[in-house]
Amino acid sequence: MKRASLLFTLLVLLAVYPALVHAEGLEKKFTTRYAAINYSEDKDMDDFIWHLGGQKLEFTNDTALASSRVDRIIERVENILDMRPGNFKVNIALKRGKLEGERVAFYEYKTKTISISVDYATDGVFAHEVAHALIHHNFGTLLPSKMQEILTQYVDKALYNDYY
């Protein structure tokens, strides 16, 4: 009985305080209002946030700014597409190098996960994949790929116009 209680307590602590676990190979997780970001090293988050905001940042020193940068882009895509579901959440997997199929990012519908290469990440690439996730969440079904691309290119153009 004591052993089961101890195991349960340990599992609860690991769930509540994931930062206490630093064993090699365990994935880290950072949660924002709209996203759960999975990564291997703090440098992955530093580089990702830098690519999104254009300014170097040590993620661990300013998690509020890191969260804001991610959520701000998601909110901008929601506004562009006029899709604002109250319960939108997306998983983000940060990786290094090119991804499968030589891609730099993609959205996986089955797992509701954006996989993005930290090495090639930009706010535009991230927003494009967020658009795919938001479209899928909003319609609840897999739309034809041409229809999705029209909507995501609309997001691309609107973001481009924000800068120029």
Question: Does residue 61 have a pLDDT over 60?
Answer: yes
CB 126 within 8 A of CB 104: no
The pLDDT of residue 73: 95
| Cβ-proximal residues to 45 (8 Å cutoff; 6+ apart), any chain | 28, 30, 37, 39, 59, 66, 94
Over residues 2-37, the pLDDT tens digits come to 555 554 554 444 444 443 333 333 389 999 999 999
User: Which tokens hold the place of 71?
Assistant: 């959520």
CB atoms within 10 A of CB 134: 26
CATH code matching the domain that covers 25-163, chosen among 2.40.50.140, 3.30.2010.30, 1.10.730.10, 3.40.50.300? 3.30.2010.30
The pLDDT of residue 70: 95
Considering just the CA atoms, what is the radius of gyration of the chain in Å? Answer: 17
Domain layout of the chain by residue ranges: 25-163
Higher pLDDT, 57 or 105: 105
The pLDDT of residue 96: 94
The pLDDT of residue 6: 52
Residue the block writes with tokens 């170097």 = 56
pTM attached to this predicted model: 0.80
Over residues 92-140, the pLDDT tens digits come to 999 999 998 999 999 999 999 999 999 999 999 999 999 999 999 998 8
Over residues 138-156, the pLDDT tens digits come to 988 888 889 999 999 999 9
The pLDDT of residue 8: 54
